[in-house]
Amino acid sequence: MEINIRQWIVSVMILGALLIGGCAQQEATSQPPNLPTEPPVTAQAPDAFSNLPRLEGKAKVRMVIKGKPVIIEVDGTNAPITAGNFVDLVQRQVYDGSLFHRVVRTPQPFVAQGGDPQSKNPKADPQTFGTGGFIDPATGQERSIPLEITPEGAQSPVYGSPLQVARINQPPVLKHKRGAVAMARSQAPDSASSQFYFALSDLEFLDGNYAVFGQVLEGMDVVDGIQQRDRIDSAEVIEGLENLRSNNPSNGPS
């Protein structure tokens, strides 16, 4: 589906309010950082990320939303850290009971975003939804993962920079096709934690800027029907859990 210029501009404006400001409150209230003119391009995950879960291969997750299943294929081949983080959080039951705090369908279908652990708390202020992430019980700190995008033809991902900023001309392997699953983040590239979104239509203008890590295989009708404040009943790994690698000993429900 082609996006006309007016719709594209509106979508970019929505993106600024929806994703860039949606993951960390401190980023949402601060001025955008200056982007480096020649940021480093990292071919392999730096040692700083060695403590993060990784998925070596693929997995499938069954997410139940309002009693209806959605099957997601998670791609650790092209997004090992991003996919590993998601599978690890599913295993920890982080998403069970959380809600979709932003759903945007006008002026065109855009995204359904959820995964803020704060939204599981019935006493939490709804105005804070979209500012939280996963607090790792092993560290007491919010886990952040790097922006991870594999360009077509590359043997490993680029970390820490959108492809355009990193001066990578190839499109990403994992694109924002309808049904894509990707990580939301603040303006800082390496700020994704637990919040994710479903692409409700083809969103080419996000390619190379946000990390896609999966695709809806079954239940896209369920995704299309998500309304704001709908909850995730449960999420479980139904295939490929043996591909998860984690150096964190506290790999369990939290």
DSSP per-residue codes, the chain: ----HHHHHHHHHHHIIIIITSS-HHHHTSPPPPPPSS---BSS--GGGTTS-EESSEEEEEEEETTEEEEEEEETTT-HHHHHHHHHHHHTTSSTT-BEEEEE-SSS--EEEE--GGGG-TTS-GGGTTS---EETTTTEE--B--EEPBTT-SS-EESS-TTTTT--SPBSS---TTEEEE---SSTT-B-S-EEEESS--GGGTTTS-EEEEEEE-HHHHHT--TT-BEEEEEEEE-GGGEE---S--S--
pLDDT cut 70: percent of the chain above it = 79
pLDDT in tens, 193-227: 999 999 999 999 999 999 999 999 999 999 999 99
| 25 pLDDT higher than 90 | no
pLDDT greater at residue 144 or residue 254: 144
pLDDT value at 35 more than 90 = no
Residue 26's pLDDT is: 35
Entry field: residues in the chain? 254
Q: What are phi and psi of 140, to 5 degrees?
A: 75, 10
| Domains by residue range for the chain, with CATH | 5-30+52-243 (2.40.100.10)
Q: In this predicted model, what pLDDT tens digit does every residue of 44-91 receive, in sequence order? A: 556 778 899 999 999 999 999 999 999 999 999 999 999 999 999 999
